[in-house]
Amino acid sequence: MSKGMYVPKESQSKQGGGAAKAKDGKRKIVAQNKKARHDYAIIDTYEAGLVLTGTEVKSLRQGRASLTDGFVQIDGNEAWLHNAHIPEYSQGTWTNHTVRRKRKLLLHREEIDKLASKSEETGHTIVPLALYFKDGRAKAEIALARGKKEYDKRQTLREKQDRRESDRAIAAAKRKQRGE
């Protein structure tokens, strides 16, 4: 297509070659907090947008982040993600970000109010579960959670192990039945 040539809008999208991406809603997970699922009983989950700098986004796109010690705090009607470790971008210059700075979470007002009231109850906290990209935007999955006691953790591990053993036994029986 030559410069200055008029092309109707209907035919612009059919020509291809553009930077348009299909929005299929796929999630590209960057980091997960498996320890949170072990230490806490998840009550409710929320998806929140993240306010990030350019070098933080580039570092996340390289798949580098950790949520192990992270937590969410409601402060002045805003949600903040604390202690999430996003390492410095390797090609960054003096504009590089601070590794463990607090980052603003983007939630609806009623979600923030609900989280604030629930987190003030005894034993409840807000923890990050995952960082991921959805339609090219950085998102955080956060959860309202209640801390587990030691015996609850052992019970969960026991149930998981029993489920795994029964799945193995069923798979072995199916293989034997097929004659493998």
For position 22, what pLDDT does the model report?
41
User: How far, in Å, CA of 15 to CA of 108, rounded?
Assistant: 38
Each of the 180 residues of the chain gets a pLDDT tens digit; together they read 455 555 555 544 444 433 334 455 677 888 888 888 878 888 888 998 888 878 888 888 888 788 888 888 888 888 898 888 888 777 766 776 666 778 888 889 998 888 888 888 777 888 898 888 888 888 889 888 887 777 777 888 888 888 999 999 999 888 888 876
pTM: 0.66
Count Cβ atoms within 10 A of the Cβ of residue 36 and give its class: 0-12 exposed, 13-18 middle, 19 or more buried. Answer: buried
Query: Which strands form 103-106's sheet, in the order they lie side by side?
Result: 27-32, 124-134, 137-147, 40-50, 103-106, 78-82, 71-75
Coil, strand or helix at 162: helix
User: How many alpha carbons fall within 13 Å on the CB side of residue 176?
Assistant: 6
